[in-house]
Every structure is written in C-alpha cells, then in structure tokens.
Amino acid sequence: MKANQAAFEVGQLASRMASGYLAHKAAITVATDPRAKMLVPPKQPGFIVSVGYVARKDGTQHVFHFDHFLDQARKDSAVAHDLEHMWLAGSLLAVGDALSMHGYFDRAPELELVRHLRNGIAHGNTFRIDNPQSLAKFPAHNRLADIRGDLKAEFEITPHLHGQPVLFNFMGPGDVLDLLMSVGLYLTRMGNGDPLRR
C-alpha cells in the first residue's frame, strides 16, 4: 500500500501522458515521412482505395480513406498544427482534472502551474486569472520542478497573463512535457512517502 495512493495514481497518469506524447510524436514523425506510403494497408475486396477503421460503440466501423488522411498529416499545415496541440492539451486537461479531484494535493507550485494551464486550455486556450490575489498564497511556477529545459527557463503565472494564449505562446511543447514529467515524479514521490524536495 502506498503512503498516498491517490497522489501515486495521479503521478502515474502525468507520467503516462508525457510518455504518450513522445509516442505520439514518434508516430507522427513516421507518418509524415514520404516512405510511410509503403506501410499503407493493401486494398481490401470491395474497396477501390486502402481503408482504415475506427470502432463505434455499437460494434460497427467508421471507414476512412487511409492514404488520403495519411497525406493530411504530412501536407496539411492546419492538421499538423492541431496534431501538435491536441495531445498536450488533452494531457493537461486529464492531469488537471485528476489533480482537481484531490484539491491539487499540497498545491505545490508545479501543480498550481498545471491548474492554470488546464483552465486556460478549457477557456479557449486563453489564460483566465480571475483571482490574482490567490497567486500570493498559491504561486504557480516551475522553479522547483525536477525537469526543466537545458537553459532552465522559468514559467510563472502572473496577473498580466490574463487574456493571453496558453499553448504554445506561454510554453512550448517541450516545456509542457518537462512539466508533466516533473509532476509525475513529484506525485509519485508523494505517493511513496518519499521526501518531496531535496
């Protein structure tokens, strides 16, 4: 049994989201390579193009033109932009919601940073700093985070961010990844009852 099972589970979720993003990035990199065309499934009887499937709840399949949508990943800049955003936005929503269910645990600055990022994404990818005074009591930054960029860039939520875009103006994809990994480590340590700060 863990010292704090909930913290451990949310920490594992944050770690999975970070790992999942890297898997997503690797898959998209392969999909956007022109050689990916060699991996397109062969045409099946009854179809004039190669198809892929997405399962519906009722057991039927949504059928799509595989080659066409593979091309979109490579050639359509809007689709490429959305692919870059969606995994991290969804990850921040999932981790933020899980943290919220537990009152953001000890409200460490990196957990509060996730809270603000999650809320901004949920409000049209725009920061909403409705109670700036709360930042004095519950600061939101990455200064204490275990994983930061090579240049140790600092990200802090301040009142002047109100109305500003979240992804990827405030933080880049790698910065969000660093934060998710740091939250995963922090909460896993909390869950195991280990010291939280060195």
Statement: residue 184 has pLDDT above 70 = yes
pLDDT in tens, 114-158: 999 999 999 999 999 999 999 999 999 999 999 999 999 999 999
pLDDT in tens, 10-48: 999 999 999 999 999 999 999 999 999 999 999 999 999
- Residue 118, helix vs strand vs coil: helix
Q: In the structure, what pLDDT confidence band is assigned to residue 86 with cuts at 50, 70 and 90?
A: very high
Average pLDDT, the chain: 95
The widest CA-to-CA distance across the chain, in whole angstroms, is: 65
Statement: residue 187 has pLDDT above 80 = yes
Q: Report the pLDDT value the prediction gives residue 111, as an integer from 0 to 100.
A: 98
Report residue 73 as tokens: 């990943």
Rounded Cα distance between 82 and 188, Å, is 31
Statement: residue 198 has pLDDT above 70 = no
Question: By C-alpha distance, which of 152, 151, 155 is closest to 168?
Answer: 155
Q: Report the pLDDT value the prediction gives residue 28, as an integer from 0 to 100.
A: 92
pTM: 0.92
- Alpha-carbon Rg for the chain, nearest whole angstrom, is 20
Is 128:120 a contact under the CB 8 Å cutoff?
yes
Domain edges within the chain:
5-192
Percent of the chain at pLDDT above 70?
99
Report residue 69 as tokens: 């949508």
